[in-house]
Amino acid sequence: MERKHMSALSIYQSLSGGTKPHVQAKSPPAKKIKRKENGIQPNKKPNKKKRMRALKSSMRLSSSEKEKSKAEKDCETHNGEGFESPALDALLTDLAKVNNSRDRANRLFQWLIHPVQDKSFFRDNWEKKPILIQRQNPDYYKGLFSTAEFDHILRNDDVQYGVNLDVTSYTNGKRETHNPPGRALPYTVWDFYESGCSLRMLNPQAFSSTVWQVLSILQEKFGSMAGANVYLTPAGTQGFAPHYDDIEAFILQLEGKKHWRVYNPQSEDEVLPLVSSSNFSQDEIGQPIMDVVLEAGDLLYFPRGFIHQADCLPDAHSLHLTVSSFQRNSWGDLLLKLMPAALETAMEEDVEFRKGLPLDYLQFMGVQNSEKEDPRRDKFIAHVEGLMKKLVSFAPADAAVDQKAKDFLHDCLPPVLSAEEKASSVYGAPARWGDGEALDVTVQLKGQTQIRLVRAGAARLCGDGETVSLCYTTENSRVYRKEEPKSIEMKAEHIDAMEFLIHSYPKFVSVASLPCEKMEAKMSLAELLFEKGLIHTAEPLTAE
């Protein structure tokens, strides 16, 4: 059914439900937070009383062999021996030729969990239970990251303790961080390692172009930031205490081997937790549901909330990379954006939400009155419930999703462009300095020039009820949220054309086909997007 034509600006304003740009959901009360995990800023640790309550429940469960046996059956192990999959460098070369960045993300994720199929993984394991994939192929991740590259980064890049690198140890049940101030140089770092300390690189994507490329592709699969940490652990040591995280974790064993133990969430309260835990002691966590050794080429996945710990065997060091995603990406997180906007709209449009509270409500409501038998309490609570049900009709779901999308695009890594994409984008424009003057600066887009977005997820139109902005990722940093969010306030004459360009992906369309009334508007939009690196052309632009 065709949509009746109306102003694009009016559509975005109506979808927003009248939300104002300054409306933001309040964050939970600030508490002490854990160190950065997996390249993503961690959330707060849970309440100690809740953890102790969960512990009692866990102790009751762990005493039952029947429950333990069931938990072990719930874990999966897949043997990938005999299954062929391309080497990473060959895969990335092939992926650069894939026309659609969403298809590219699907193929890379399938390689990541090979030979398990994408559909079965999301049906059976995602957010549900761990899975171990053993491949008997030590070169499976070859080229992704190595100890030699770790050393090269230390020698050639500005790696700072506490920002890019943590030095840790876990001995006699005690977890310690040993970060000195300043730059992490090989002389000191390798001395820590020889002394039995683990090394954690917090954002390898800032230094490794391959890790950057892999994560920038995967983020389109998850619709959520994909982060990473690298862990280098000496033989016979352990770097971290048992804990659980608030992210979905994919453990890629790159070198050596490592002994992993994974434990069920201790209670329903800790299933898919909103925050990472503090450190557990060994006697708090009971028996593992998974006790395995990862060798180079293996993969271990576990959902957020599953307690885990890992130690190196005496005969080998370990290098692994943890890919993480889906932090604060739940329905509840969406509702945190949605409910304030719904309430503001309801108060503007429905007098029932603006009527005053009963004059005497403080006399019968509140904790001090919660045990009192008073018919006024029942009436008050019933009225609140009625307003809550009514609130649903004012919920601007699309506007709330746009708010989540803005956060995601701020988190995103910038896209890694292929040589062909660079040549046909602003990065390959022929303008240069030569013979004492600026040359080829008159290269221009034309009406017949074929253009498209560089990635499906590189830009998104978001409305806040007053303006429409184009949020984008191409000018983001490889360091998590180092830059401010990138957006352009769209002119009304450009909104339909931008929407057309987004929905046309992965097809190229001519500048002349953009649905603007005037050719001047079509050209100005195309030039703006080209300058921001958001589009590339079907053929490289050449000088006149």
Amino acid 416 reads V
DSSP label at residue 276: -
Classified as helix, coil or strand, 441 is coil
pLDDT tens track for 487-541: 999 999 999 999 999 999 999 999 999 999 999 999 999 999 999 999 999 999 8
Beta bridge partners of 325: 248
Per-residue pLDDT averaged across 289-297, rounded? 98
Query: For the chain, what is the mean pLDDT?
Result: 89
> For residue 56, is pLDDT > 80?
no
pLDDT of residue 437: 82
Residue with tokens 């876990």: 170
Q: Helices in 226-288 by DSSP H: which ranges?
A: 282-285
CB 421 within 8 A of CB 540: no
- Find all residues with CB under 8 Å of 258, minimum gap 6, and list them: 233, 293, 294, 310, 311, 312, 313, 318, 320
Tell me whether strands 227-233 and 198-201 are parallel, antiparallel or unpaired: antiparallel
Q: Average pLDDT of 109-119?
A: 97
User: Could you tell me the fold of the domain covering 404-537?
Assistant: Outer Surface Protein A; domain 3 (3.90.930)
Diameter over CA atoms, the chain: 91
CATH class of 68-325: mainly beta
Altogether, the residues listed in the chain come to a count of 544
Pairing of strands 459-463, 450-453: unpaired
- Three-class SS of 98-135: CCCHHHHHHHHHHHHHCCCCHHHHHHHCCCCCCEEEEC
Q: What are 397-430's pLDDT values in tens digits?
A: 999 999 999 999 999 999 999 999 999 999 998 8
The answer to whether the beta carbons of residues 319 and 232 sit under 8 Å apart is yes
Q: What does DSSP say about strands 299-302 and 248-263: parallel, antiparallel, or unpaired?
A: antiparallel
| pLDDT of 210 higher than 50 | yes
Say which residue the tokens 């992993």 belong to. 260
In this structure, what DSSP letter does residue 503 have?
A: H
Residue with tokens 């062929």: 84
Distance, CA of 192 to CA of 239 (rounded, Å) = 12
Dihedral of alpha carbons 328, 21, 516, 473, sign? negative
pLDDT for res 9: 62
H/E segment holding residue 364: helix 361-364
The residues spanned by each domain of the chain are 68-325, 404-537
Inform me whether the pLDDT recorded for 255 exceeds 90: yes
| Local confidence band at 78 (pLDDT 50, 70, 90 cut-offs) | confident
Q: Given this model, what pLDDT does residue 15 score?
A: 58
List pLDDT tens digits, range 349-364: 999 999 999 999 999 9
**pLDDT tens, position by position, 80-89:** 765 567 899 9
Owner of token pair 């070369």? 93
* Closest by CA position to 138, among listed 346, 294, 279, 259: 294
Q: Evaluate the omega torsion of the peptide bond into residue 115 and state whether it is cis, within 30 degrees of 0.
A: yes
Residues 6+ apart with CB under 8 A from 540: 423, 424, 428
**Weakest mean pLDDT among 43-47, 177-181, 256-260, 307-311:** 43-47
Question: What confidence score (pLDDT) does residue 12 get?
Answer: 65
Q: Is the pLDDT assigned to residue 130 strictly greater than 90?
A: yes
Q: What is the pLDDT of residue 544?
A: 61
